[in-house]
Structure 1
Amino acid sequence: MSNTNENIHHLGKVCSEYCMSASEVYNMLLSKNDGDFPLSFDTVKYMVLKDVRADKLKMIFTQEELKSIFSNINLKKIKNTQTKNFINSL
């Protein structure tokens, strides 16, 4: 878990314009509870995929957490080939 805490800052830039901290983004992705936030869970997970490299996501989340977060993703919405490959690898 300490490894996660050291790397969570990579999520900070994702929703900063919506005043969401890295820990809020992290907690929302794990809980899928977006009731207290200005953005929906689905919006945030796509923003994370767009703004955070896959290798950084692997340092923040476990493989099981990544599967849970990105399991229902629409690959047609993802333009980056490396990101598509990352999602398919889960």
Structure 2
Amino acid sequence: MKYTQTTLDKIARVLDEAEYIVRYERGNFQSGYCILEQRKVVVLNRFLQLEGRISTLIDIIPQLRVVPEDFSPEVRRIYEEVLAAAHATSEG
């Protein structure tokens, strides 16, 4: 997966269709992010660079409770790419 703004926007669409809100805030995040599952909010460290934001979202998305069948076909494809990237990272 390329580390571009377009890639970040595509990944954000997955979260949007899953009805999660992504916020960029300051804070003491050990892993660079925090998930507030009950409120469907993902908070990323605002100081992460583009590559860090993409990598963090790739790590987060497999942990979220989503229903891929509810996604549009394009977003489902992106979701599957994210899962493949996360799997490849975890094996690496």
Shorter-chain TM-score bucket reads: 0.3 to 0.5
- Larger helix proportion of the pair: 1
Q: TM-score, normalised by structure 1?
A: 0.36
The structure showing larger relative contact order (alpha-carbon pairs under 8 Å, at least 6 residues apart) is: 2
Q: TM-score, normalised by structure 2?
A: 0.36
